[in-house]
Chain A
Amino acid sequence: MSIKNAPAYRQSNKKYRLAPLDSKHLTGLARIFFCLAIISMVVFNLAPFLWQFFSSLKNSKELYLVPVTYIPAKVSLTAYEKVISNPLFLRYFLNSVIVSIFTTFVTLSLASFAGYALSRLKLKFKTALQFLLLLACLFPQIIFLVPLYELMARFSLISKPLALVLPYVTFSLPLAIWMMTRFFLTIPKEIEEQAMVDGFKRLAILRKIILPLSWPALATTAILIFIGPFAWNEFLFSLSFMIKDTSKTVPVGIALLSGTSMYEIPWSQICAACVLTTLPLVLFVIIFERKIIEGLTRGAVKG
């Protein structure tokens, strides 16, 4: 058994270098604290979701029991049945899906083009674009509310999906363009130069060479757009621009359900609705965790 394959050895060597606080070498007390820290962190982050989950499985009588029961004595799915059979909720869900998917798709396309241009070409518009991108991601949503509402009203887009897709795309572009630009910078220029020498036209290079190479970056960016603050999860613009009941999205729907009536707030249905809205996202994040975190943390922090 020799170490002829030096590169592999080098790699495994790096793995066994002691990390700043390699948990393997923590002594008794420190180790206990470390485990406690991990557990508290996990509990803290999962608690609200878990509580909704367990609440949604209780039947209405148990839900309003005081003192509170933590694990439902009898699992009941009536809340879910009621929510799923509510056509309005389904409508909200559909709206969210449509808007989010459109946003993701459009943002990805625009961001790939812009990212490619920014990574390769020296253009006069570059600084102007970067300035606009900074504007969009730096300022809080509320600043844009009044004029945008005015704009949407003028073009009769109120309560139409486009009224949401346009701002969502706009505010998702900074992050998306940043990610795609960073990615394109990692593709060596030589590949395209070779293609140009071989006779490919610019557009063909994009389609046949760059695009197939970009799938991982596209996928990661798509995920980040979808779970970001301007797609599925967005609230303010949806609340303001979607007046008609049938055009509302899920976050707005649930929020209105929980706030408007002073009397009987249907908490079990609300909990079920919350879980239905968030469970896919939770599973998504857990499955794609590595892609997400690595996509965000690779590449140093450039203030």
Chain B
Amino acid sequence: MAEVRLENITKLFGGHIIGLKDFSLQVKNGEFVTILGPSGSGKSTALRIIAGLEHPDKGNIFIDEVNVNKHLPQERDVAFVFQSYALYPHMDVYENIAVGLRIKGCCKAEIQKRVQEVTGLLEIGKLLKRKPKALSGGQRQRVALARAIAKRPKVFLLDEPLSNLDASLRERMRTELKMLFNKLKATVIYVTHDQTEAMSLSDKIALINNGMLKQVGLPDELYYQPKDLFVASFLGSPPINTLEADIIGENALMCGKICLNISSDYRLKLKNKNKVILGLRPEDIKVYLEPKENTYLAQLILIERIGKYTILSLNWQGQILKAITERDFIGQHKRDSIWFQFDMNKLYLFDKETLNTI
């Protein structure tokens, strides 16, 4: 297993479309790092650059402190699992796993041994003689993983491997993947747009948007200490509620018609600003059916019963807030008014222009 380091990678498509801009990332030996981002953010590009399937215009890639910029994919000793699995349709499962080893020059006995290992690990023993056409989505995915693991590469690169599976299968495979890579103690770089996957699987998350790295750190860091509004709103389901507010005085905010007092910690940081954006996570909003001390009145617009919990959409001063409550919080009869309160300490403040956290 190896370390991977990306240094200031820039990649332009067609000369002007930004793929990646000044992207740097460090992955330690045995770490599971996810590159997370929306579609088209450059995460797949970053992965392909590490694999050698694309060349960066600027920057360096190091695998185990060796600069591999000029190395071809076959020389980098990485395993790449494609979103579509890229199984060779004309070879059976055994051949699919074996062909890479054969090219490497492994002898027959070694190949057999390794195939045995991975089929045991991934429980695909019964599928060895089948062709990809005859496999289900989940089975194909396991074969793709088996192929990668049998190579014993320095780094595993996975490009959205779970997105082609149904929701239930996805959850199951997520757990299996985590156990698998824990067992292998492998260095994994994982790409996805699904924040739940990223949060649950990774040691570290690198959030990327528009080709630029937004924040990198532990999942909890990104969730509870987002650097800017994008990070805060990308992680968390339902996403963070945002409200506009004006600054009045030294430690008060005017949100619509409501005045909020904020702690003096922020006084200095708010000095030169007029407006801020407030961020409030749905789970930090406490909802009541009757007015209580320090609660605000809002209009209940929508109830979404997810099963485990219920999401309420509230209209407060013209802005929509979402709050999470317990399953049986709201009965069947209609309600119009609802009261809520929130902890000021759990409020995030974002600069209106730069969208950075204050």
Contacts and interface: CB of A to CB of B under 8 A. Distances in A.
Interface of A: 1-3, 6, 8-10, 12-13, 15-18
B18 A3 contact: yes
A230 B267 CA distance: 87
Contacts of B39: 6
4 interchain residue pairs of minimum CB distance: A6-B40, A2-B210, A9-B40, A12-B13
Contact of A2 (B13, B18, B45, B54): B18
B226 interface: no
A22 to B, nearest CB: 11
Contacts of B41: 3
Given A10-B40, A16-B13, A3 B211 contact: yes
B53 A9 contact: no
A1 B40 contact: no
Nearest to A2: B210
A208 to B, nearest CB: 39
A3 B14 contact: no
A1 B17 contact: yes
B333 interface: no
A3 B17 contact: yes
B53 A17 contact: yes
Contacts of B211: 3
A129 to B, nearest CB: 31
Contacts of A12: 13-14, 17
A18 B53 contact: yes
Given A6-B39, A13-B45, A1 B16 contact: yes
Q: How large is the interface on B (under 10, 10 to 19, 20 to 34, 35 or more residues)?
A: 10 to 19
Contact of B54 (A8, A9, A10, A16): A16
Contacts of A13: 13, 19, 45
Nearest to A16: B13
A30 to B, nearest CB: 14
21 contacts: A1-B17, A1-B18, A2-B210, A3-B18, A3-B19, A3-B40, A3-B41, A3-B42, A3-B211, A6-B39, A6-B40, A9-B13, A12-B14, A12-B17, A13-B13, A13-B19, A15-B14, A16-B13, A16-B14, A17-B53, A18-B54
B33 to A, nearest CB: 22
Contacts of A10: 40
A12 B54 CA distance: 13
A1 B16 CA distance: 8
A3 B41 CA distance: 8
A26 to B, nearest CB: 13
Contacts of B19: 3, 13
Interface string B2-40: 000000000001101111000000000000000000011
Contacts of B45: 13
A141 B211 CA distance: 61
Contacts of A6: 39-40
A12 B16 CA distance: 11
Contacts of A1: 16-18
Nearest to B42: A3
A255 B67 CA distance: 67
A10 B42 CA distance: 10
Interface centre among A1, A3, A6, A18 (most CB of B within 10 A): A3
Interface centre among B17, B39, B53 (most CB of A within 10 A): B17
Contacts of B210: 2-3
B134 to A, nearest CB: 20
A220 B41 CA distance: 39
A16 B48 CA distance: 12
